[in-house]
Amino acid sequence: MPLTVLSNRDVRSLLLSLTGDEVRELRANLAEALREYSSGNQNSGCFSEYQPKSTTISKRNGLTTMFLPASTESSLGFKIMTVADAPSKPGPQRRLSASEASIALPATLDSKSTLDSMASKLSRTALAPAATRLSQSRAASPRPAPAADQETNVTSPSGSLTLLDPTGSPFGIVNAQELTAFRTALTSMMLLYRREKISTITVFGAGRQAYWHIRLALLLRCKDIKRVNIINRSFERATGLLRKFYAADHVEWRQNVKFSAFSRDFVEYDRLLRECVVKADVIFCCTPSPDPLFPADILTDSDGRRKGRFISAIGSYRPNMTELDPDLIKHAIKSHTHHKHPPYGGVIVVDTLEASLHNAGEVVMAGLKPRQLVEVGELLMVKDATEKQGDPPDKSLVDWLQRGNVIYKCAGLGLMDLVVGGDIIKLAKERHIGTTISEF
């Protein structure tokens, strides 16, 4: 059997070439697999009982390796990924004022010279004159390597996905670095596309996960999104992410979007944080943070309860990591008594119930029980059941998914890698991308 091998460059090149329609098709295929996973039907190839147990090994060298096996009706596979532990908390630093390091980038970049000029400014983080003065003042004393280097290790896990046919013959080997970020963002999009209003998006993090969540959201809902706020521990890295979105080939689906970014270095960080969280219609949390990214009371006080939001937390992968305040999770469970758009029953949406109960820090620290979680595949089952029976959709479910407070927690499921990886192999063959070994 021919074996297709895709390097990380191959995968990235292919994913960057995807159109909105192709992303929708990949999302639909993944949605069908997750629906089968949660169905309880032993005739479904992706049924949960057919998914082998995942395993995690943490060593004293600060590296954690995850083994994620999976199976579908037409394939078997396993992904092996290694990620560095989150770095220690950064020490106190001089904070920049908003006027010292504010970002106000143009909506369009019409020429290469303009893009080069902007890239030069971003690379120096000289987005305002005072930022240059700050860098000069720091030059007098040595400082440790920038946090961006540490974050790259944390948010850029390395590994591979191996795909086999039902007989065990391998037909694909895929570098999993870019693929992991893409498939995670693709799963978030299954809930995002149902939202009624997504004018403002706030993103925590500036790595691959943040990039793909923003890119896919813009590809699928570019007419609706007006503002994207990026909040990151390293301001330098945040500007690097902005530069990617101001590349010339991104004009069509981000031309009406205003980007902004800030970090903890800002003197007005607390005010800006509260403002960006309260105004957000969608919040993407894409960091391996050991502590909550924002206080729960920002969304549980009177201002925060004025509207519903979709929050996707995908960065934490250990029980002691939590991007969301456990108090926010507890509030979401009983928030149907506080919001004018009542949730469908006060639950947290997860990709897989078992892994979330054991590994998702937000779920573990909030002490949630199985009845307080619902798999995204179960929501799809309800939708499919009503459509097949010809019944009108459940209004409370629709209201919750479109306008209520929906929190999605991704713990990671090998099935997602196998399904998306198989689709990527097919696209790579059609586009003659990668290396083919005719007889492996």
User: Which is more confidently placed, 153 or 273?
Assistant: 273
User: Do 116 and 259 share a domain, yes or no?
Assistant: no
pLDDT at residue 86 in the model: 59
Domain that holds residue 119: 112-139
- Find how far residue 77's CA is from the centre of its chain: 23
pLDDT at residue 138 in the model: 35
Question: Stretch 361-368: mean pLDDT, rounded?
Answer: 92
pLDDT at residue 181 in the model: 96
Question: Stretch 48-56: mean pLDDT, rounded?
Answer: 92
User: Do 133 and 270 share a domain, yes or no?
Assistant: no
User: Which is more confidently placed, 327 or 136?
Assistant: 327
Cα-Cα-Cα-Cα dihedral of 392, 396, 397, 403, to 10°?
Answer: 120
User: Do 32 and 131 share a domain, yes or no?
Assistant: no
Question: Stretch 202-215: mean pLDDT, rounded?
Answer: 96
Is there a contact between 278 and 299 (Cβ–Cβ < 8 Å)? Answer: yes
Using the predicted structure, report yes or no on whether residue 95 has a pLDDT greater than 70: no
User: Do 39 and 133 share a domain, yes or no?
Assistant: no
CATH number, domain at 358? 3.40.50.720
Q: For residue range 302-331, list pLDDT tens digits in order.
A: 989 999 999 999 998 888 899 999 999 999
Q: For residue range 385-439, list pLDDT tens digits in order.
A: 665 666 666 778 888 899 999 999 999 899 999 999 999 999 999 999 999 999 8
Using the predicted structure, report yes or no on whether residue 127 has a pLDDT greater than 70: no
pLDDT at residue 387 in the model: 59
Question: Stretch 239-250: mean pLDDT, rounded?
Answer: 85
| 147 located within any domain | no
Contacts for 267 with CB less than 8 Å, ≥ 6 apart: 95, 96, 97, 98
User: Do 127 and 271 share a domain, yes or no?
Assistant: no
Lowest mean pLDDT among 63-67, 227-231, 270-274: 63-67
Question: Stretch 55-79: mean pLDDT, rounded?
Answer: 92
In this prediction, residue 130 has a pLDDT band, given cuts at 50, 70 and 90, of very low
Count how many domains the chain has: 2
| 226 located within any domain | yes
Q: For residue range 187-198, list pLDDT tens digits in order.
A: 999 999 989 999
Rounded Cα–Cα distance for residues 206 and 122 (Å):
14
| Average pLDDT in the chain | 82
Rounded Cα–Cα distance for residues 388 and 378 (Å):
15
pLDDT at residue 255 in the model: 81
In this prediction, residue 98 has a pLDDT band, given cuts at 50, 70 and 90, of very low
In this prediction, residue 380 has a pLDDT band, given cuts at 50, 70 and 90, of confident
Tell me the residue type at 30: L
**Cross-strand partners of 4:** 172, 436
User: Do 129 and 234 share a domain, yes or no?
Assistant: no
| 98 located within any domain | no
Mark 123-137 as b/e (b = at least 16 C-beta within 10 Å): eebbbbeebeebeee
Using the predicted structure, report yes or no on whether residue 243 has a pLDDT greater than 70: yes
| 103 located within any domain | no
Tell me the whole-structure pTM to 2 decimals. Answer: 0.84
| 19 located within any domain | yes
Q: What is the 3-state secondary structure (H, E, C) of 153-204?
A: HHHCCEEEEEEECCCCCEEEEEEHHHHHHHHHHHHHHHHHCCCCCCCEEEEE
User: Do 330 and 391 share a domain, yes or no?
Assistant: yes
User: Do 131 and 184 share a domain, yes or no?
Assistant: no
Using the predicted structure, report yes or no on whether residue 152 has a pLDDT greater than 60: no
pLDDT at residue 256 in the model: 86
Rounded Cα–Cα distance for residues 336 and 345 (Å):
7
| 393 located within any domain | yes
For the chain, how far is it from start to end, CA to CA, in angstroms? 7
| 104 located within any domain | no
Q: For residue range 247-297, list pLDDT tens digits in order.
A: 867 777 888 899 999 999 898 999 999 999 999 999 999 999 999 999 999
Contacts for 64 with CB less than 8 Å, ≥ 6 apart: 56, 57, 58, 82, 83, 84, 85, 317, 318
Q: Which residue is it, tokens 């080939």? A: 249
Using the predicted structure, report yes or no on whether residue 113 has a pLDDT greater than 90: no
Using the predicted structure, report yes or no on whether residue 7 has a pLDDT greater than 80: yes
Provide the 3-class DSSP secondary structure of residue 62: coil
User: Do 319 and 385 share a domain, yes or no?
Assistant: yes
Q: Which residue is it, tokens 């895709």? A: 6
Using the predicted structure, report yes or no on whether residue 121 has a pLDDT greater than 50: no
CB atoms within 10 A of CB 27: 20
| 198 located within any domain | yes
User: Do 272 and 395 share a domain, yes or no?
Assistant: yes
User: Do 118 and 53 share a domain, yes or no?
Assistant: no
User: Do 162 and 134 share a domain, yes or no?
Assistant: no
DSSP code per residue over 299-333: HHSTTGGGS--EEEE-S--STT--SS-HHHHHHHH
Rounded Cα–Cα distance for residues 384 and 393 (Å):
10
Rounded Cα–Cα distance for residues 427 and 421 (Å):
10
Question: Stretch 32-38: mean pLDDT, rounded?
Answer: 95
